[in-house]
Amino acid sequence: MNAVEVLGLRRHFPSSSRGGRGTPRTALDGIDLTVGIGEVHALLGPNGAGKTTLCKILATVLVPDAGTARVLGHDVVTELAAVRPLIGCVFGGDRGLYGRLSARRNLLYWGALYGVPGRELRGRAAGLLERFGLTGHADERVETFSRGMKQRLHLARGLMHDPRVLLLDEPTTGMDPVSARDFRTLIGELRGEGRSVLLTTHDMAEAETVCDRATLIDGGRILHTATPRQLGALLSRHERIEATGVPARLADALRARPDVTSVHDGADGTTTLIEVTDREALAPVLRLLIDAGVTELATARPGLEEVYLRLIGDRGMEVVR
Amino acid sequence: MNTRPRPEALTLLRHGSAIAVADLAAVYTWRTWLFGWLVRMLSQVVFFTLIGRLTGGDERFLVTGNALMVCAVEATMVVASSAWERSLGTLPLLVAAPARLAWTFVVRSLQWVISGTATSLVALFALGPVFGLRWTAGSACAAVPLVLLTSLGTYCVGLALAAFVADRPGLRNVVSNVAYLGMMAVCGVQVPVHYWPPPVRAVAQALPLTHELDALRGVLDGAPPVHVLLQALLGAVTGAGWLAVAVLGFGWVARRGRRTGAIEFGT
Amino acid sequence: MNAFRAGLGLQAALLRRSPGDLHILATVPLYTLILLAMTDAPHRPGLAPDAIIAPTLMALWSTALFTAGDLIDRDRYNGTLEPTVAAPAGLAQVVAGRISAVTATGLLAFAEAWAVGRCFGVHLTVRHPLPLVLGILATSLTTACTAAVIAALLVLTRGGRPYQNSLSFPLYLLSGIVVPIGELPHWLHPVSRLVYLSWSADLLRSAFRAGPPRDLPVQLLALGLLAAAGLACAGVLLRRVLARVRVLGTLGHA
């Protein structure tokens, strides 16, 4: 049994134009995904990729159009009563808390909603407040909290009922670097406790450091699932040369070669980026450059970030709808 | 396998009402309640009661109706405060929790019942005598549960409406205002129910305020206790009916939201 | 003038997009119905003008209090106040434009109340058209000026908001919009006369009465003076709003 098992999941939304006419937007287009027990799995993708839609379906607040999703063997559409207590749901930002209540009161309320027995509520809330460094502010109104404190409280809230599976939807949105580092430590602890975590993010560094496996998702489709290292290796055959002062005629000649995938200008305008098909192609290309008098040269392998950009495509700030 | 019991109702009530109390404390301090809210509501009672002086109407009838109306006004604020869950971003978390969505909404706005009952009682006991109400120990004791029943019954009407505007939070003020003014018009507050044509009277019979007001006037006019009890009971039954509608309504909200994706996550 | 027009256009667009802000207009037919029933207008035509004028004035005052009164505060909440202040256009003109749009929608209440009266079988006869037109104009102007005072006060005072809601019925009562001021205790009469609604109610009612509107000049003068006082007050308060934004960089104490 897996913590999360998703098979052929589809979901579309009616067009947001007036009256719902126009083409419907496909948020999930046949997703297959498994998260093993005790695994930390990152779901990577740009805004609008379908990450939150998947989280919503797993959290039982959205039903899919087709396909199945199971949490620890229970179907998220038909077995609500079984699924809901198993899942802890946390999303980033500072919404989703009662600002007029104290941190402790918030935890007690959510614990009660999850059926934590009355005698255990207080102890559990105190323990989590301690764990997230909020004991000193336990009885202050949440609306007076900083964003980072609210996010820590959000995590505590998600753990109040001791869930076995955690859905963390962009949990580090707007976190400062120190909080983000603490957050990564926390993920390690959760894994140590045997919990399974599905984490959505568009932060590569975060995915690279905390997760066991990462799935790249875009336009509602899965592009690739692998360990961060495997993903990095995926494109390592695409070796890259950065050179300064490449004559235009040589650049054209390189473009014509079958072992060169692309030649384009670097961001600073003086360097040229040359990508070759594999390691073997490096030597002849380097020789040509040196023969043409180009001496400022460097070779590089793509990092995970580049894999991401390569697979997702560089569409800048555009959000797919 | 998870064998955790369904959330215990009492625990839920205890911790959920903390939200209600916190909201009440955030909306009012004792000073703003006394000099702001109470003065406004008492002015409303006097405003409508004095119209009786203009038309030669029965001031006792009017002051009783309008004093009880005050708690109905406040109880329908549940329509607005239920919409706060959406703006707080807590709605998806409530839907994802194992507790039934309707009960979380039933519990979270109880502050209006408390405040409304207090306001109505002040209006009845302090303003009533100015316009001719004569209280005895017995009638005063009977008035308290009747006011509470009116608050609770109207609160249930408001909850049902809140469920149906859950997806249109922009309409919350329209709906709550129209709801309480509609009740003020047809439930016998300003003019007797029989003033209106039969279809309107039928609507009035479905509203708790109509019956509780009838019971309260019965208490003040020395009507037979059976009549008073019967009307109070009818009010309670209609209130329970509205509660059932509210529970079904919130179930529908959750199901519909899950289908359409209207329950937004996060920021 | 451009700033005024921009404010007017902005507010009209905002009102079109959020019908919830116009909830006061939804209450007008019900208040009219209640007052017509209470005064039994079909059988007692003498009180019918009161039952139709009162909901209109209530709606105008409510829009001034809630919709217009919230203008600046809502801008502060949305973070749009600072950029508005930073723009070269005068804040006062923008606010005036926006308040005018809100007040204009408040005037729809008159048509609503009139229509409900017709459905109820009440036919009002305008005996003196000039006082009616002047009354509506003067009332709108004074409403707008008063709304500007409220809008500025609500951003300047921390403790004002909880009392915003309580300025409705106490003022209806004081201003005698249904029950004449004469029914109130004598010591309250001077206070009532400070509320512009009391002059508006008298003026508008006189347009439907048989006798000549003898008090018209006094009523218009009173409304004009109250409008001028409101305008002056709003001017001073708005300058303080501006000063506070510029000195503290923000008004954010919400």
Is the confidence at residue B1, as pLDDT, over 50?
Answer: no
What's the CA angle centered on B95, arms B151 and A149, to 5 degrees? 95
- CA–CA gap between residue B180 and residue A15 (Å, rounded): 37
H or E stretch at A290: helix A282-291
Work out the pLDDT band at C249, boundaries 50, 70, 90. Answer: low
Instruction: Please check whether residue B130 touches A, CB under 8 A.
Output: no
Work out the minimum CA distance from B179 to partner chain C, whole angstroms: 10
Residue A110 belongs to some domain of the structure: yes
Work out the minimum CA distance from B73 to partner chain C, whole angstroms: 13
- For chain C, the domains span 2-248
- CA–CA gap between residue C115 and residue C127 (Å, rounded): 18
The reply to whether residue B263 touches residue A89, judged by beta carbons under 8 angstroms, is no
Q: Which of B40, B172, B184 sits opposite C170 (nearest CB)?
A: B40
**Highest-pLDDT range among B22-31, B252-261, C221-230:** C221-230
Give the model's pLDDT for residue C244: 80
* Chain A: partners with 3+ C-beta pairs within 8 Å: B
Low-confidence ranges of chain A (pLDDT < 70): 16-22, 174, 231-238, 267, 301-321
Instruction: Please check whether residue B12 touches A, CB under 8 A.
Output: yes
The reply to whether residue B2 touches residue A82, judged by beta carbons under 8 angstroms, is yes
What residue in A sits closest to B1 (Cα-Cα)? A82
Give the model's pLDDT for residue B26: 77
**Highest-pLDDT range among A96-110, A170-184, C149-163, C222-236:** C222-236
Instruction: Please check whether residue B25 touches A, CB under 8 A.
Output: yes
- CA–CA gap between residue B8 and residue B21 (Å, rounded): 20
Q: Which residues does chain C have within 8 Å of residue B181's beta carbon, measured at their own beta carbons?
A: 27, 30-31, 34
Work out the minimum CA distance from B48 to partner chain C, whole angstroms: 9
One domain for residues A252 and A208: no
Give the model's pLDDT for residue C31: 96
Q: Average pLDDT, stretch C182-186?
A: 87
- Total tally of structural domains belonging to chain A: 2
Condensed to tens digits (0 to 9), the pLDDT of residues C192-208 reads 999 999 999 999 999 98
Query: Can you read off the two tokens belonging to residue B53?
Result: 């002086």
Give the model's pLDDT for residue C254: 38
Closest CA to A154 of A229, A91, A197, A209: A91
Residue A306 belongs to some domain of the structure: no
Residue B260 makes CB contacts below 8 A (sequence gap 6+) with none
Residue with tokens 């549940």: B78
Q: Which of A53, A62, A117 sits opposite B258 (nearest CB)?
A: A62
Q: Is A15 helix (H, G, I), strand (E, B) or coil?
A: coil
In the predicted model, what is the mean pLDDT of chain C? 86
The DSSP code for C161 is H
Neighbours of C121 (CB within 10 A): 11
Q: Is A200 helix (H, G, I), strand (E, B) or coil?
A: strand
Q: What percent of chain C has pLDDT over 70?
A: 95
Residue C68 makes CB contacts below 8 A (sequence gap 6+) with C98, C99, C102, C103, C144, C147, C148, C150, C151
Give the model's pLDDT for residue A236: 54
Give the model's pLDDT for residue A316: 47
> b/e string for A284-316 if b means 16 or more Cβ within 10 A?
ebbebbeebebeeeeeeebbbebbbeebbeeee
Condensed to tens digits (0 to 9), the pLDDT of residues C14-38 reads 888 777 778 889 999 999 999 999 9
Closest CA to A4 of A32, A45, A26, A28: A32
What residue in C sits closest to B54 (Cα-Cα)? C179
- Mean pLDDT lowest for which of A101-110, B94-103, C149-158? C149-158
Q: Is C70 helix (H, G, I), strand (E, B) or coil?
A: coil
Q: Which of C38, C163, C169 sits opposite B191 (nearest CB)?
A: C38
Q: Which of B94, B257, B267 sits opposite A93 (nearest CB)?
A: B267
Bridging pattern class, strands A240-244 and A297-300 = antiparallel
Q: For chains A and C, tell me whether 3 or more CB atom pairs sit within 8 A of each other.
A: no
Condensed to tens digits (0 to 9), the pLDDT of residues C79-94 reads 777 777 777 777 788 8
Q: Is A247 helix (H, G, I), strand (E, B) or coil?
A: coil
Counting Cα atoms < 13 Å in the Cβ hemisphere of C201 gives: 27
Q: Which residues does chain B have within 8 Å of residue A59's beta carbon, measured at their own beta carbons?
A: 92, 96, 265
Query: Can you read off the two tokens belonging to residue C63?
Result: 């829009």
The reply to whether residue B47 touches residue C179, judged by beta carbons under 8 angstroms, is yes
Closest CA to B253 of B174, B173, B180, B168: B168
Mutation to test the C interface, candidates B174, B184, B201, most C Cβ within 10 Å: B174
One domain for residues A64 and A182: yes
One domain for residues A218 and A243: no
Give the model's pLDDT for residue A321: 44
Give the model's pLDDT for residue A3: 93
Q: A169: domain CATH number?
A: 3.40.50.300
Instruction: Please check whether residue C119 touches B, CB under 8 A.
Output: no
Phi, psi of A42 (to 5 degrees): -100, 140
Domain residues for the domain of A262 are 237-300
- Per the CB < 8 A criterion, the answer to whether C103 and C140 are in contact is yes
One domain for residues A128 and A216: yes
- For chain B, the domains span 9-260
- CA–CA gap between residue A169 and residue A90 (Å, rounded): 6
Q: Average pLDDT, stretch B94-120?
A: 91
Instruction: Please check whether residue B257 touches A, CB under 8 A.
Output: yes
Q: Which of B5, B7, B261 sits opposite A13 (nearest CB)?
A: B261
C220: Cα separation from own chain's centroid: 16
More confident: A318 or C129: C129
Residue A312 belongs to some domain of the structure: no
Work out the minimum CA distance from B45 to partner chain C, whole angstroms: 9
Condensed to tens digits (0 to 9), the pLDDT of residues B8-56 reads 677 778 888 888 888 888 778 888 888 889 999 999 999 999 998 888 8
The reply to whether residue A115 touches residue B8, judged by beta carbons under 8 angstroms, is yes
What residue in C sits closest to B26 (Cα-Cα)? C162
**Residue A72 is which amino acid?**
L
Give the model's pLDDT for residue B200: 96
Is the confidence at residue C135, as pLDDT, over 70?
Answer: yes
Work out the minimum CA distance from A44 to partner chain B, whole angstroms: 17
The reply to whether residue A98 touches residue B25, judged by beta carbons under 8 angstroms, is no
Phi, psi of A44 (to 5 degrees): -105, 140
The DSSP code for C213 is -
Query: Which region, left, alpha or beta, applies to residue A13 given φ > 0 means left and ψ of -120 to 50 means alpha?
Result: beta
Give the model's pLDDT for residue A319: 46
What residue in B sits closest to A85 (Cα-Cα)? B98
The reply to whether residue B185 touches residue C33, judged by beta carbons under 8 angstroms, is yes
Work out the pLDDT band at B259, boundaries 50, 70, 90. Answer: confident
The reply to whether residue C162 touches residue B28, judged by beta carbons under 8 angstroms, is yes
Q: The pTM is what?
A: 0.83
What's the CA angle centered on A143, arms A137 and A148, to 5 degrees? 65
The DSSP code for A268 is T
Give the model's pLDDT for residue C32: 95
Give the model's pLDDT for residue C243: 80
Residue A314 belongs to some domain of the structure: no
The arrangement of strands across the sheet holding A240-244 comes to A260-265, A271-276, A240-244, A297-300
Q: A248: domain CATH number?
A: 3.30.70.920
List of long-range contacts for C85-92, beta carbons under 8 Å, 24+ apart: C85/C242, C85/C245, C85/C246, C89/C2, C89/C3, C89/C6, C90/C3, C91/C238, C91/C241, C91/C242, C92/C234, C92/C235, C92/C238
Residue A309 belongs to some domain of the structure: no
Give the model's pLDDT for residue A237: 54
Give the model's pLDDT for residue A304: 57
Q: Which residues of A touch B (CB under 8 A)?
A: 11, 13, 52-53, 55-56, 59-63, 81-82, 84-87, 89, 91-93, 95-101, 105, 108-115, 117-118, 121, 157, 161, 169-170, 173
Q: What is the greatest pairwise CA distance in chain A?
A: 80
Instruction: Please check whether residue C162 touches B, CB under 8 A.
Output: yes
What residue in B sits closest to C163 (Cα-Cα)? B36
Give the model's pLDDT for residue A320: 45
Q: Which residues does chain C have within 8 Å of residue B43's beta carbon, measured at their own beta carbons?
A: 169-170, 172-173
